[in-house]
């Protein structure tokens, strides 16, 4: 996948629009669609190296690790929640409204597709908006847990500028004295409703994604390097059905050899251009 000149890019986008015209398009989006909203990608240019990601095994077994996670997660979430949808998110919502897009399957947990106006969104890796109790199953709004954190830890401050990771995490300077939030129903352990490293995508979510794909007759991958197996599995299903596959990503992906068109450019530029040509 090489960078194209403006003329070549325009021609490729026009060819893509013709390939998609009259079809119902399923979207698979990754962290790259949110970089223009100020949320960095996991991989590729501009990404931050995460040499020690939180695994579910460590989260469950190590109280110090949970404390570090909640301090960093709280500070990051405050800035993460201020991010706004960008033109890529907005164009997908508009194409869904006009009937071109059947829905969005996203690997992101930022909620920006919903805030942009997309209504059929499957968040396969969960969402930062909710927090779950692992003991009784109670579901909490993240804002309520944030209020509990600040009430129990009045010393905590939220910086105006923090270095965000794609999951809304930052590296805190210290976790000393931090009191971890607990379930207000049973006192159990809380966990954000996101898929941690070492966890599987819930089966019902993946089946919903498969159903959306079956109801579509074209697929666009936007801003995903397709390193995560759940994304590759969905692309494989599109390939088996021989429906058009478009990949928009600044970096090469694992599925480029299967794609009908690959576009090495930003989603905030390409998706609105496709929308304009289709509509």
Q: Is 250 annotated as a binding residue?
A: no
CA triple 19-93-42, angle to 5 deg: 85
186 in a known ligand binding site: yes
Q: What is the DSSP letter of 184?
A: T
109 labelled ligand-binding? no
Residue 166: closest CA among 94, 117, 223:
223
Q: Is 126 annotated as a binding residue?
A: no
Sheet holding 126-133, edge to edge: 139-141, 126-133, 190-194
Identify which of 166, 191, 197 has the alpha carbon closest to the alpha carbon of residue 76: 166
125 is catalytic: yes
Distance between CA 231 and CA 79 in Å, rounded?
27
Q: Angle 181-183-169 (CA atoms, 0-180°, nearest 5)?
A: 40
* Annotated catalytic residue within 74, 89, 100, 125: 125
Cα separation, 227 vs 233, whole angstroms: 11
Integer-rounded Cα radius of gyration of the chain: 20
Residues annotated catalytic, as ranges: 125
Annotated binding residues, written as ranges, equal: 133, 136, 183, 186
Annotated binding residues for Zn(2+), written as ranges, equal: 133, 136, 183, 186
């Amino acid at each position: 996948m090489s960078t194209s000149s403006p003329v070549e890019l325009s021609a490729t986008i026009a060819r893509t629009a013709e390939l998609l015209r009259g079809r119902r398009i399923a979207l698979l989006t990754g962290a790259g669609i949110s970089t223009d909203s100020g949320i960095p990608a996991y991989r590729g240019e501009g990404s931050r190296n995460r040499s020690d990601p939180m695994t579910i095994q460590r989260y469950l077994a190590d109280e110090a690790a949970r404390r570090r996670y909640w301090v960093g997660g709280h500070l990051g979430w405050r800035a993460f929640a201020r991010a706004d949808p960008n033109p890529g998110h907005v164009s997908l919502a508009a194409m869904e409204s006009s009937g071109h897009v059947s829905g969005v399957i996203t690997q992101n947990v930022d909620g920006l597709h919903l805030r942009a106006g997309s209504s059929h969104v499957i968040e396969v890796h969960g969402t930062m908006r909710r927090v779950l109790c692992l003991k009784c199953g109670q579901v909490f709004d993240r804002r309520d847990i944030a209020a509990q954190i600040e009430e129990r830890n009045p010393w905590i401050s939220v910086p105006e500028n923090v270095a965000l990771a794609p999951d809304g995490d930052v590296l805190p300077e210290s976790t000393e004295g931090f009191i971890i939030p607990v379930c207000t129903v049973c006192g159990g352990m809380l966990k954000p409703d996101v898929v941690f490293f070492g966890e599987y995508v819930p089966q019902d979510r993946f089946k919903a994604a498969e159903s959306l794909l079956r109801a579509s007759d074209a697929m666009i991958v936007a801003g995903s390097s397709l390193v995560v197996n759940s994304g590759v599995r969905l692309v494989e299903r599109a390939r088996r059905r021989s429906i058009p596959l478009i990949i928009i990503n600044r970096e090469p992906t694992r599925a480029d050899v299967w794609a009908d068109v690959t576009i090495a450019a930003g989603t905030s530029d390409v998706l609105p251009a496709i929308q304009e040509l289709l509509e």
